[in-house]
Amino acid sequence: MNSKVSHTLYLAFRDRNFHALRFNFRGAGGSGGSYDAGRGERLDVAAAWRHLLQASEPVLPVDAPRVVGGFSFGSFVGMAFAHREQACSHRIAIAPPLKFDYDFSFLEDPADLRPLYIVVGADDPFCPIPLVEQLLERLRKLAIPVLASVIPGANHMFDRCGHVLREELSSIAAQICGQQPGEQRYGVRRL
């Protein structure tokens, strides 16, 4: 919960009037349990999702966007959860660790045409741009709507680039809710 990237995601959406929630996976940041290679962590996402939907239900319109986003390992777990959760309308993967042994092939489901946003650092060794480009090519061949943003000078943790990440996530939040995004000031590249 104290990850600066997850906190930035939370703030960008909260500031655009989304009901937003951030949480720790089991065994992280003093929470109970232990790492479970993504299996148990999907249950954590499901519990957090149910909690947020129940808390938001009385005030959110039925057609309001419902977004699942995650950072690094959390993007793998979050996107895997979102793949099976039809109430999710949009997906955001920040720095998905494509270089590791996580199977992101569920994103390549031609029946799942919900928008996917991928945000990566230009200098991220765990999510190298060539692997992102390969994923984008496969997704676009399936007509899956995907927008990929590359933050210049950013590593995996977006060190010294948090302000650029926040602006980009705020722009994505604006797009999702049909608002005009602000002017792009930092040279974010689209793939």
User: Can you give the residue ranges of every domain in the chain?
Assistant: 4-51+64-190
Give residue 58's pLDDT.
Answer: 81
Looking at per-residue confidence, does 133 or 39 come out higher? 133
Q: How confident is the model at residue 2 (pLDDT cuts 50, 70, 90)?
A: confident
Edge-to-edge strand ranges of the sheet holding 116-121: 67-71, 90-94, 116-121, 146-151, 189-190
Can you tell me the distance from the alpha carbon of 83 to that of 96, in angstroms, rounded to the nearest whole number? 15
% of the chain beyond a pLDDT of 70 = 96
- Token representation of residue 121: 């650092």
Domain 4-51+64-190 has CATH 3.40.50.1820: yes
* DSSP strand pairing (90-94 vs 189-190): unpaired
Q: What's the pLDDT tens digit per position in 4-48?
A: 999 999 999 999 999 998 887 766 767 777 776 677 789 989 999
- Mean per-residue pLDDT, 69-97: 97
Can you tell me the distance from the alpha carbon of 161 to that of 74, in angstroms, rounded to the nearest whole number? 20
Give residue 149's pLDDT.
Answer: 98
- Taking the model in full, what pTM does it have? 0.94
Q: What are phi and psi of 120, to 5 degrees?
A: -135, 160
- Mean per-residue pLDDT, 99-123: 97
Give residue 106's pLDDT.
Answer: 97
**Is the confidence at residue 115, as pLDDT, over 80?**
yes
